[in-house]
Amino acid sequence: MHPFGLIALLQFLWEHEIPSLFVLVALGLLLSVVFLCYRNQTCQDAPATLPHFTLSHIASFMKQRHDFLAWGFKVTNQRLFQFRLLRNNVVVVSGEQGRKDFFNAKGLDIHEAFAILTGDLPLLYGVTTERRRQLVAKMYKRLSNVQRNERLTDLIPEVLNDCRRHLQSWEKAGSLDPFEKIYELTFQATVRCLTCTEIADEPKLVARCKQLFEQVERGITPATVLFPWFPSPSMVMRARATKQLYDIIVNTMKVRKQSGVPRNDTLQIFLDSEDELATVMGFMMGFVTAGSRTTGTSASWLFIYLGCHPKWRHEARAEVKKLITSHSLETVSECNSNSPPRDSSSTALSSIPLSAWENETPVLDTLIREAIRLSQAYVASRRNIGPDMYIDGKVIPTGALVVYPVADVHLDPTLYPDPWKFDPARPQPKCNLTYLGWGGGRTTCIGSRLARLNIKLIAALLLVDFDFDTVDVSGGIVDSPPKPNWNDPVTCRPAQGQVFLKYKRLDNPEPPSS
């Protein structure tokens, strides 16, 4: 009790005649928090508990997650430790055995953990959990439809054309914030691939959706996670933005159905399959949020690193030019008269087949892999849906949240010497589960094919049409990239204003070298 100064508080309330009902409610809440916070595991096999529990553990987990988890391992000097996130017990895992157990465990559920950590309303077991499982299964099936060869082949020219349109709005030369402008490109690409033509074709509507998605994202705060039932201002903002996105999507569906004209897009896949609205909404809201951010962050960092490393920039550009030379010339001549002008790089890139984008870009693949290792500060999260289980010899009770910070491998100097260095040529560790950029074990990214393709298309267009350097706020060339901030798990963005891309449009792009 001491840390809360309960006696002093009571005295203050008494002296100031604060209404007694209010006092009772407040005390009730306070005591429940204290009870939940001090209810520790006493079993011998339980993971170590963080010392000196204070509410600041919760605040640090929510706001400074990377530093907090590193601190937890240090003070407990254990590979696993636990703490309380109010009503949830959280077990934090590290080390080789823990990693294997975590990623291969059957009873650990990603969706339930995700729901808790994004502040969804608590689940009613057997009712909402089962319904969620069915919805998720349907959404995943549709995502695999979107990533079929034929659909991805159709998407290549569409995404390139969207990017070209965006890039035309850039000045001939200037300086830009990659976390805004590169993210804009990936957002447009994600909307094109995962929603519908009516939205993707309308730049103003895309910009509006981007704003609303950002509000939904900002609406996930410590308050919404800790008190999902409480209508905090951020919760209200999130609900309002979600409703507006819902209206946009529902309206588009209505107009499409009324027109009776089918389109070649993701919405049509849902309409043709007569999927229920909840599946369409879950898919579009969930995957656009998750897909655009992860793709945007990876692409933004890829460009920061390319801007700092002329050698890699030149190698990547040479690879793209080689692709154009090998694949595009014969097909460009077959284009019909509706195609964009022949000299446009997006036209040349459009005629490169999907298989070449996927199998003939070893340099881009390596660059993306290394950029993701350094810029995806994710903490894999699961909930033990039962029964009790063991990870690295420690018991994980049913209902516990279990988290594994990927920093444990991606920043481990024994696996990746000089781990903060961007070094695409570094030898890759051979052991299983030592690269988790796309997940591992039972949970791997099911949008990775789309994400990789979009990053490559955007990178190719920028490499062919622009030259760029990474600069600081005063325009000085930065040759050693800033350190990603792993406490910002969404973008890893360094301190505001620290990094920009200075770019110049190549008016006469060199003809591809033969």
Residue positions in the annotated binding site for heme? 445
In the bound complex, what is the minimum distance in angstroms from residue 451's beta carbon to ligand HEM?
Answer: 4
Whole-angstrom Cα distance, residue 309 to residue 422?
9
Q: Which stretch binds ligand HEM (CB under 6 A): 266-274, 331-339, 376-384, 456-464?
A: 376-384
Which of 119, 437 has the CB closer to ligand HEM? 437
Cα atoms in the 13 Å half-sphere on the side-chain side of 162? 25
Q: Is 200 in the site for ligand HEM (CB under 6 A)?
A: no
Which of 48, 249 has the CB closer to ligand HEM? 249
Q: Which stretch binds ligand HEM (CB under 6 A): 158-166, 338-346, 383-391, 435-443?
A: 435-443
Which of 212, 288 has the CB closer to ligand HEM? 288
Among 344, 443, 485, 487, the residue binding ligand HEM under the rule CB under 6 A is 443
- Among residue numbers 92 through 121, which ones bind ligand HEM (CB under 6 A)? 110
Q: Is 372 in the site for ligand HEM (CB under 6 A)?
A: yes
Query: Residue 379: beta bridge partners?
Result: 405
Q: Which stretch binds ligand HEM (CB under 6 A): 23-31, 77-85, 209-217, 287-295?
A: 287-295
Q: Is 385 in the site for ligand HEM (CB under 6 A)?
A: no
Q: Is 509 in the site for ligand HEM (CB under 6 A)?
A: no
Among 72, 291, 307, 512, the residue binding ligand HEM under the rule CB under 6 A is 291
To the nearest 10 degrees (0 to 180), the angle between helices 448-465 and 277-308 is: 40
Which of 155, 324 has the CB closer to ligand HEM? 155
Which of 160, 450 has the CB closer to ligand HEM? 450
Position of tokens 């920009």? Answer: 500
Strands 379-384 and 88-93: unpaired
Cis previous bond, 231, omega within 30: no
Residues binding ligand HEM: number (CB under 6 A): 22
Q: Is 376 in the site for ligand HEM (CB under 6 A)?
A: yes
146 and 193 Cβ atoms separated by less than 8 Å:
yes
3-state secondary structure of 37: helix
420 and 482 Cβ atoms separated by less than 8 Å:
no
Least Cα distance to 347 among 327, 328, 365, 364 occurs for 328
Among 37, 91, 143, 163, the residue binding ligand HEM under the rule CB under 6 A is 143
For the four alpha carbons of 213, 219, 221 and 226, in that order, the dihedral sign comes to negative
**Residue-wise DSSP of 279-307:** HHHHHHHHHHHHHHHHHHHHHHHHHHHHH
In the bound complex, what is the minimum distance in angstroms from residue 303's beta carbon to ligand HEM?
Answer: 13
Among 76, 94, 266, 295, the residue binding ligand HEM under the rule CB under 6 A is 295
Q: Indicate the residue whose CB is closest to ligand HEM.
A: 447
Quickly count: other Cβ atoms within 10 Å of residue 165's Cβ.
13
Tokens representing 222 are 């410590």
CB contact set of 320 (below 8 Å; sequence gap of 6+): 349, 364, 459, 460, 463, 464
Sort 11 into a burial class: Cβ within 10 Å, 0-12 / 13-18 / 19+. exposed
Among 437, 481, 484, 512, the residue binding ligand HEM under the rule CB under 6 A is 437
Among 447, 481, 484, 512, the residue binding ligand HEM under the rule CB under 6 A is 447
In the bound complex, what is the minimum distance in angstroms from residue 113's beta carbon to ligand HEM?
Answer: 8
In the bound complex, what is the minimum distance in angstroms from residue 135's beta carbon to ligand HEM?
Answer: 12
Among 61, 378, 422, 503, the residue binding ligand HEM under the rule CB under 6 A is 378
In the bound complex, what is the minimum distance in angstroms from residue 110's beta carbon to ligand HEM?
Answer: 5
3-state secondary structure of 180: helix
Q: Is 433 in the site for ligand HEM (CB under 6 A)?
A: no
Q: Is 367 in the site for ligand HEM (CB under 6 A)?
A: no
> What single DSSP character describes residue 483?
P
CB contact set of 263 (below 8 Å; sequence gap of 6+): 196, 197, 198, 256
Q: Which stretch binds ligand HEM (CB under 6 A): 23-31, 229-237, 293-301, 341-349?
A: 293-301
453: alpha, beta or left, given left = phi > 0 and alpha = psi -120 to 50? Answer: alpha
Q: Is 351 in the site for ligand HEM (CB under 6 A)?
A: no
Which of 142, 321 has the CB closer to ligand HEM? 142
Quickly count: other Cβ atoms within 10 Å of residue 33's Cβ.
17
In the bound complex, what is the minimum distance in angstroms from residue 299's beta carbon to ligand HEM?
Answer: 8
CB contact set of 506 (below 8 Å; sequence gap of 6+): 464, 465, 466, 467
Q: Which stretch binds ligand HEM (CB under 6 A): 267-275, 339-347, 410-418, 444-452?
A: 444-452
Total number of residues shown for the chain: 514
In the bound complex, what is the minimum distance in angstroms from residue 438's beta carbon to ligand HEM?
Answer: 5
Q: Which residues are annotated as a binding site?
A: 445
Whole-angstrom Cα distance, residue 349 to residue 103?
38
**Residue at 48: amino acid letter:** A
**Which positions touch ligand HEM (CB under 6 A)?**
110, 143, 287, 290-291, 294-295, 298, 372, 376, 378, 380, 437-439, 443, 445-448, 450-451
